[in-house]
Amino acid sequence: MEIAIMGAGLSGLACAITLKKNGITPTIFEKRSKVGDRFVNGEVLLDIFSRPVHDCIASLSDEYGIYLQPTSNIQRMELFSKNEQAIIEGHLGFTNVRGRERDSFESQLERQTKSTIHFNSQKTYEQLLSEYTHVVIATGDGAYAKETRNFREDFSVSIQGATVEGSFDRYTVMAWVDYDLSPYGYCFLIPYSEKEACISLAIPDLPKNADLNIRDLWKLFYQKVRSQLKQELPITDQFQITHYPIGICLKPRIGNTFYIGNCFGTMMPFMGFGQYTSILSGVYAAYDLCGMGNYEELMAPLRQSYEDSLVLRRAMEQISNEGLDRIIRSLHGYWGEKLFQTKTINPLKVASYLMRPFLKMKKGVTS
Ligand SMILES: Cc1cc2nc3c(=O)[nH]c(=O)nc-3n(C[C@H](O)[C@H](O)[C@H](O)COP(=O)(O)OP(=O)(O)OC[C@H]3O[C@@H](n4cnc5c(N)ncnc54)[C@H](O)[C@@H]3O)c2cc1C
């Protein structure tokens, strides 16, 4: 069996590590000159988004032998709507760095990979398929799946972000769901350390957002964070992503081609989280290749999570700032903490089931 992995990101590297642990050495093809050779940004792993798993980092090491050191664990989340705020405390998840930094998640995975990585690869999927018995597509977006008509794109999102200097509590993450700042989207402040943080603004490219200018909204958001934190927050690095497709492939495996990570559809529509699911998809594809499971079956719960998350995203598009104020107010204190820390139910799954009839009714009214 000769396996080519296209893309040395989270899912591709997790796949390579798992294959090697089980006696198969794949070859990795990465289009960039080194692992993580892109913008730097801060990301989070929130426990509430990975239920039934309560600690992604522990689960990855104990169950799959994949070892990741986050930047910090999250002990406090400050959530803001236009007029309300909720503070939630407890162990809520982890923050981590992505991109070209030495301790980014992809760099950490590269150090655990024992397979050859061919950098600056120009190989197309078709070339790899003619040279290898199996190809794992891990290129980080649905482009190839789309080209082969194996991808349902649900919407796209545009994101602007920056690294800022200041004084931060590394255990606190801040998030804004205020449609004056990011209509139908969200904003985050994720610290890298006591002195640096990543701020970002994500806006879905909906028809009702067609006239928006992300640069104008960015100015508003940047000003908002500075006044809220009462700090200057000089920008030292910036990134912008336009029309990033969010969708899911129709078949996770076609013939001897496996679609993993965002090529499968591991980036969840509600808030764009996808790190943990991307890593899992790489592990599961490797299990199938090693005869230890069936990729399609293993991915079924992640497909369901995607669909649940899409319901929440669609619901979010129906809510106004007043509705968001009510939600944030109800999350403050005891109930928010209970919700974020409950171990017996998956709150997002429950919310998505509760939202379905509401969305059906809305659809009926508008169609
Ligand atoms: C701005 C932003 C913020 C995010 N924040 C969060 C967050 O806070 N929490 C969370 O859980 N998730 C977050 N996500 C989602 C998460 O980062 C992704 O779901 C995850 O990185 C996907 O992993 P992947 O392996 O599919 O792709 P990646 O890790 O992006 O890897 C893809 C790799 O493929 C390479 N490649 C591309 N094309 C080719 C080609 N033709 N040939 C060879 N190699 C190729 C790329 O260079 C890259 O190295 C965020 C995403 C973005 C864009």
Range of the domain at 269: 3-360
In 3D space, the residue among 72, 90, 87 whose CA is nearest the CA of residue 197 turns out to be 72
What's the pLDDT score for residue 365? 54
Task: Determine whether 156 is exposed, middle or buried from the number of CB atoms within 10 Å of its CB (0-12, 13-18, 19+).
Answer: middle
The two tokens of residue 220 are 């508003």
Q: Name the pLDDT band for 348 (thresholds 50, 70, 90).
A: confident
Calculate how far, in angstroms, residue 200's C-alpha sits from the geometric centre of ligand 1.
16
Question: Is pLDDT at 116 greater than 80 in this prediction?
Answer: yes
Q: Name the pLDDT band for 322 (thresholds 50, 70, 90).
A: very high
Residue 10 Cβ < 6 Å to ligand 1: yes
What CATH number has the domain bearing residue 286? 3.50.50.60
- Is 184 within a domain? yes
What's the pLDDT score for residue 364? 62
Calculate how far, in angstroms, residue 140's C-alpha sits from the geometric centre of ligand 1.
4
Which pLDDT tens digit goes with each residue over 221-266?
Answer: 999 999 999 999 999 999 999 999 999 999 999 999 999 999 999 9
Contacts of 305 (CB under 8 A, 6+ apart): 268, 277, 349
Which residue's CA lies nearest to atom 21 of ligand 1?
275
Which pLDDT tens digit goes with each residue over 44-66?
Answer: 999 888 888 889 999 999 999 99
- Is 282 within a domain? yes
Residue 241 Cβ < 6 Å to ligand 1: yes
Distance CA 271, CA 276 (A): 14
- Is 115 within a domain? yes
- Is 7 within a domain? yes
Mutation to probe ligand 1, out of 6, 11, 32, 43 (largest number of atoms < 8 A from CB):
43
- Count: domains in the chain: 1
- Is 114 within a domain? yes
Question: Is pLDDT at 366 greater than 60 in this prediction?
Answer: no
Distance CA 97, CA 105 (A): 6
Calculate how far, in angstroms, residue 240's C-alpha sits from the geometric centre of ligand 1.
14
Calculate how far, in angstroms, residue 273's C-alpha sits from the geometric centre of ligand 1.
11
- Is 350 within a domain? yes
Residues in the chain, how many?
A: 367
In 3D space, the residue among 282, 226, 350, 353 whose CA is nearest the CA of residue 106 turns out to be 282
- Is 367 within a domain? no
- Is 128 within a domain? yes
Calculate how far, in angstroms, residue 296's C-alpha sits from the geometric centre of ligand 1.
21
Distance CA 256, CA 107 (A): 28
